[in-house]
Structure 1
Amino acid sequence: MTQTTFDFIIVGAGSAGCVLANRLSADKNCRVLLLEAGSDDGDPMIQTPGLFPQLQDSAYDWGDRSMPQSGMNDRRIYIPQGKALGGSSSINYMIYMRGNRGDYEHWANLGNAGWGYDEVLPYFIKAETNLAFHDAYHGQSGPLIVSSHVQLSPVTQRYLSAAQEVGIAYNPDFNGERQEGCGPLQRTIANGQRCSAAVAYLHPVMARPNLTVMRHAHATQLLFNGSRVIGVQYLQLGVTESAYAGEVLLSAGAFRSPQLLLLSGLGPAQELEKTGY
């Protein structure tokens, strides 16, 4: 078992982890370790937009399913979760749509300072280079390339016309002033290739000497000194390793971040008691 020390350990190289790795390693005085359970993202199947259906249940997908759904004849629904650099942004359908203004305002009203829509909008703008829209809602110098369909298919055009005939207003930009309506979607595609979080944020900084990216490194447990998290234990190609840091950031997704917490003894008491904690 080897041990290494960093200033920051980031668990998960998905949409959040790639951004964290980029921003934190910009400080040359910080040593950053990024752990990714999956592999690299160079496979043409990932980078070619039209091949996204082949990514379901591939080596780049965790293969998750929901619990049986009583309202759907007990079917278990496919839940895509990326397992590669870029995480789910490396296997998704590349549709670019921001959260709704009402959701952000609700979170702010619950007491989460700084989460109002007008407060997060500058970060959306900072993140993108939008090739189609140049206004107060879009950026022109960010790492994430956002494009629009150059030409809609005849079927799509008829679909949008039908929607308008029944009173649904046309909306050319679902990331602008309003989200209601019908219209074409924006996408994270640049020069005919997927623009994932890894492409936008991680690949440009991979050569930084203070950034270490470990693939096939599956985090299995958080390490503690008393009540403080000081490191991560992970399994890499069948070998148990550990790394330590001043701060550990979990960005392993909606499922595997809480799973890692539970495996480490953090979570609802009734859940932990079932495992003997």
Structure 2
Amino acid sequence: MPGWTLIIFRSLIFLLLLFITTKVLGKKQISELSFFEYVAGITIGSIAGEVVTGLEANMYHGALAIAVFGFITFLSNYLSIKSKKFSDFVEGKGTVVIQDGKILENNLKKEKYTIDELSALLRQKNIFKVADVEFAVLEPRGNLSALLKKENQPLTPKDLQMKMPNEKEPQTIIMDGNIVDEALRCAGKGRGWLYTELEKLGVTLDNVFLGQVDSYGDITVDLYDDKIKVPAPAVRPLLLATLKKTQADLEIFSLETDCQKSKAMYKKNAVILQETIDKLSPYLNG
């Protein structure tokens, strides 16, 4: 048998052998490895590479083996896109390990995971009680996806029926003490506004390592001198406080005046301003 034919044959055989071995070892082999598993994986790969290429002296045989491995990998990815069954066979399916707060021991053993390893994956998601989990799936690549029970999920503005504004990408307007004019224009601001905001914060441009502005016009800066404390942006909270004070003043005026016409005017405008505050609060609460 010619040398190049033997190399291709060996490559296919040992690629299949490595694939089967990895499937048998389970998802943990491609997820978080222990020291022993890491060393074992390197050793298996080294042995396979040595057997496939045969003599190290012939670099063409080694190059051919690498090309075969690369082609098979490319072909596998292509077929995975075209065929769901092939994808499930090669890449595997997600395995349910927790359902309704209860661990499915058989599925856990099937994937060769211990309780401690499952607990560690849960802790990485800030979950410390299995009973709090509605559903958890061990994904084909070894990571864990978990859904908390409804009563354990944090409240969202949608749960409270609050309308929230759409956030836009912050613009980096200062980098390494230099103004990025293009980002400043995208934010709808100018250099005059920037110098005024820096003056309010009590910092100079030369001392700013990074400066960003959000879609509300609030600027945040990171200074070279980390010992200097920069006040938090207060544009929106200050505006909200001003609106609330104005609304409260209108109500007070309506109580203090004896003129019925003025009283009605103050009350009407107090109601209008309160409605405005209610609409703007999601946008101005920081």
TM-score (norm 1): 0.20
Query: Counting strand residues as a fraction of each chain, which structure ranks higher?
Result: 1
Which structure is richer in relative contact order (CA contacts within 8 A, separation 6 or more)? 1
TM-score (norm 2): 0.20
Query: Counting helix residues as a fraction of each chain, which structure ranks higher?
Result: 2
